Amino acid sequence: MVSKKSKGFEALKQEIIDRNLCTYCGACASFCEHIELEPDPTRQVPVLKDECSLDKEGVLKCSENGTCYDVCPMTETDVEGLEMKFLDSEGIKERDEYLGIYKELIAGKTSIDGQDGGIVTSMLTAGMGNELFDCVIVAERGEDFNAGAKIAEYIDEIEKAKGTKYVQCPMVSKIGEAVKGGKRKIAVVGTPCEIRAARKIQSVLLKDVPQIEITTIGLFCFENFYHDKLAKKTKELLGIDLASASKIQITKGKYLVTANGKTYKTKVAELDEAVRENCRYCDDFVARLADISVGSVGSEDGYSTIIVRSERGEKLLDLIDFSRGDVDKEEISKTAKLKHEKFETAVGAGIGG
């Protein structure tokens, strides 16, 4: 075997994982047989289960820097290049400093009782019903309000996954599994970091599997939590076991947990110790690279705010029936700006410091 100098998993570990920058998206493990996601729920990082074969010629076809390094959302990313590649540059109606590229900004509510307006679940089921997708990657609720990434092929599986779980789960790890299982039209829903990873994977995949179609539905995200710490804080502050909760919501600076028919609340700032470290170094609130982004900020309770970015996103939204509400662009920009400022402050203080 001949050695060559490259980045590979070693650099990913040094630059991202060991500095607590890993978002646990699972992109690095999606296509490489040497990486597995640490099963210990308190660690949530990828680990090398045997030897990385990047530096060994003739063993595995891997990119120059290592595919795991290239697809990680936290390594250097040409966001503008990906926007131009995937968000139909010719049809761009507007490029906003805080909202990114978008064609339309809407508030909507469907008949599905989802986290907000049920827009995500409605679009996913409509897309599946109209054969736009072979499968959909969703986050299903696990024990204790944890989340697990799932490849859903049936409408009832998609419906069952409705609702927000405020914890990270490796959505992007499932793209590899779906492709290996013969799927070519894949929809993935995820936080902005997961959508970024999905786009990076899509760029790599298109070289080898040109017929691949990935539809990305992004969720607004200000921050996310370690499951064990969130459970502990919820018990400490509200006296509730997450297992008994029917809904968790973070809105307007409040953390609300509904359990046994009652809603308990506290300030979201009280959860600071449970916030994932990597989220302090993230400046994308609106999933700028998604075909369509959905959140609650900017619309009334019970409605979803929808940012349509690409033709693919536009087609998907056209499939569903929804009633329209008012949308407050300033409120979304204000939150996106605040996230950007927090990111600048954290970076200024030193990464991992």
Q: Which range, of 184-192, 203-211, 234-242, 269-277, touches ligand FAD by CB under 6 A?
A: 184-192
Q: Which range, of 52-60, 185-193, 226-234, 308-316, touches ligand FAD by CB under 6 A?
A: 185-193
**Coil vs helix vs strand at 305:** strand
Does 214 engage in binding with ligand FAD (CB under 6 A)? no
Q: Classify each residue of 266-280 as buried b or exposed e, where b means 16 or more C-beta atoms within 10 Å of its C-beta.
A: bebeebeebbbebbb
Residue 249: strand pairing partners: 256
- The DSSP letter of residue 285 is S
Does 139 engage in binding with ligand FAD (CB under 6 A)? yes
**E strand or H helix at 197:** helix 192-208
Q: Looking at beta carbons, which residue is closest to ligand SF4?
A: 66
Measured in degrees and rounded to the nearest 5, phi and psi for residue 51 equal -90, 140
Between residues 55 and 96, which has the closer beta carbon with respect to ligand FAD? Answer: 96
Provide the residue type at 174 as one letter. Answer: K
Task: Build a one-symbol-per-residue string for 28-47: x at contacts with ligand SF4 by CB under 6 A, - elsewhere.
Answer: x---x-xx----------x-
296 binds, among ligand FAD, ligand SF4, none (CB under 5 to 8 A by kind): ligand FAD
Q: Classify each residue of 325-353 as buried b or exposed e, where b means 16 or more C-beta atoms within 10 Å of its C-beta.
A: bebeeeebbebbeebbebbeebeeeeeee
Kindly tell me which residue out of 106, 151, 189, 292 binds ligand FAD, with binding defined by CB under 6 A.
189
Binding residues among 232-261 for ligand SF4 as defined by CB under 6 A: none
Binding residues among 141-170 for ligand FAD as defined by CB under 6 A: 147, 161-167, 169
| Cβ neighbourhood burial of 163 (10 Å; 0-12, 13-18, 19+) | buried
Is the Cβ–Cβ distance between 123 and 217 less than 8 Å?
Answer: yes
Task: Build a one-symbol-per-residue string for 45-74: x at contacts with ligand SF4 by CB under 6 A, - elsewhere.
Answer: -x-----xxx-----x-x---xxx---xxx
Kindly tell me which residue out of 16, 17, 99, 120 binds ligand FAD, with binding defined by CB under 6 A.
120
Q: Which residues bind ligand FAD (CB under 6 A)?
A: 112, 114-121, 138-139, 147, 161-167, 169, 171, 189-191, 219-222, 224, 250, 294-297, 304
